[in-house]
Amino acid sequence: MTWTRDLSMLFATLFGFWVLLNGSLAADVLLVGLITALIITLLFRNSLAVVSELRMTPRALMTTLGYVFFFARELVKSNLNLARIVLSPALPLNPGIVKVRTRLKSRMGRLLLANSITLTPGTLTVDIDGEWLYIHWVTVDSADIEVATAAIVSGFEEYLEVMYG
């Protein structure tokens, strides 16, 4: 059952992208798009984890929306923070690589977590080893695993745990 659902989600996503790219609803454009999307769907059956691992409950969808807003706020905050550092003559840095742990299990959840961390205040994911993430931090507050996890990971994890588990 989930197999057919995943395939149709992949197909719909590809076809949606095709229509967006062409910006036209002419019959010939749609026909070529349908055929192309169908072929790609058959070739890459197992590769669209963004959609297929996302839980399709109303609660998960609401959380996704909340996540987008939380993420946007963090992104702006991170840039203002960076602006402050780069523009100050003294360049107040205290960089280092710390280790944090995530509770997320799914591949997609971890990928989104790593991406989110990279785009938020002063942190950059350097390496992932199972449940451990190594984070480069521009202003290290503490190298302690618990403290760093609470500071860097927890905010996103709350959302992603509902979305992907």
**Residue 71 corresponds to which amino acid?**
F
Helix (H, G, I), strand (E, B) or coil at 104: coil
134 binds other proteins, rule: CB under 8 A: yes
Find the binding residues for other proteins in span 22-41 (CB under 8 A). 23
Minimum CB distance to other proteins smaller for 57 or for 142: 142
What gap in Å lies between CA 50 and CA 108, rounded to an integer? 6
132: which 2 tokens? 């451990």
Question: Among 8, 56, 69, 95, which residue sits at the site for other proteins (rule: CB under 8 A)?
Answer: 95
Total count of residues recorded for the chain: 165
Strand partners, 98: 135
Question: Among 17, 39, 56, 57, which residue sits at the site for other proteins (rule: CB under 8 A)?
Answer: 17
DSSP string, 10-55: HHHHHHHHHHHHHT---HHHHHHHHHHHHHHHHHTTT--HHHHTS-
- List of residues 6+ apart from 140 with CB closer than 8 A: 94, 95, 96, 98
147 binds other proteins, rule: CB under 8 A: no
Minimum CB distance to other proteins smaller for 1 or for 20: 20
Contact letters for other proteins, residues 59-78 (x by CB under 8 A):
----------------xx-x
What gap in Å lies between CA 36 and CA 149, rounded to an integer? 44
Minimum CB distance to other proteins smaller for 26 or for 91: 91
51 binds other proteins, rule: CB under 8 A: no
Contact residues for other proteins, defined by CB under 8 A: 17, 20-21, 23, 75-76, 78-79, 82-83, 85-87, 91, 93-99, 114-116, 118-119, 122-127, 134, 136, 138, 140, 143
